[in-house]
């Protein structure tokens, strides 16, 4: 155990603070599917129709899932949208950072 609270900062200002579970709970889903496709617009529209919040950042489509789904369930839900790759994982602090701060932590100069 490293710490009990985390602060997310942007330009020297605290944007959000709390325990890791509290910050993760502020994302719009419990899991994230990262999707690659030849027709990104079709993927994003299908996800919106399914009620899945969509984020398009740095050439990557992230679909926030209301609960963890299997790869098969995700692929079936996106059938006909020309998915070329998909991975799914629980939300992470990086997802919380992107959602709450609005910029990719790997591009922030330190």
Domain enclosing residue 41, as ranges: 6-104
Please state, in angstroms and rounded to a whole number, the distance separating the CA atoms of residues 98 and 103. Answer: 5
Number of domains in the chain: 1
CATH number (domain holding residue 41): 3.30.70
Strand segments, DSSP code E, in 1-110 are 6-10, 13-18, 31-37, 54-57, 60-65, 83-90
- What are the percentages of helix, strand and coil residues in the chain, rounded to 5? 30, 35, 35
Query: Is 68 inside a domain boundary?
Result: yes
Q: Averaged over 21-42, what is the pLDDT?
A: 93
On whether the CB atoms of residues 54 and 29 are closer than 8 A, the answer is no
Query: Is 1 inside a domain boundary?
Result: no
Helix (H, G, I), strand (E, B) or coil at 102: coil
Q: For 21, phi and psi rounded to 5 degrees?
A: -60, -35
Digit-coded pLDDT (tens) for 44-77 = 999 999 999 999 877 789 999 999 899 999 999 9
Quick one: DSSP state of residue 107?
G
Among 110, 99, 85, which residue's Cα sits nearest to residue 34?
Answer: 85
pLDDT band per the 50, 70, 90 thresholds, residue 1? low
Confidence at residue 106, expressed as pLDDT on a 0 to 100 scale: 45
Query: Is 50 inside a domain boundary?
Result: yes
């Amino acid at each position: 155990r490293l710490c009990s609270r985390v602060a997310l900062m942007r330009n020297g200002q605290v944007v959000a603070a709390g325990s890791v579970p509290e910050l993760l709970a502020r994302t719009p889903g419990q899991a994230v599917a990262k999707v690659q496709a030849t027709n990104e617009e079709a993927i994003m529209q299908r996800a919106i129709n399914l009620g899945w919040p969509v984020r398009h950042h740095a050439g990557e489509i992230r679909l926030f899932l209301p609960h963890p789904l299997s790869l098969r369930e995700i692929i079936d839900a996106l059938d006909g949208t020309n998915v070329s790759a998909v991975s799914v994982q629980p939300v992470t602090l990086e997802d919380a950072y992107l959602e709450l701060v609005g910029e990719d932590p790997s591009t922030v100069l330190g």
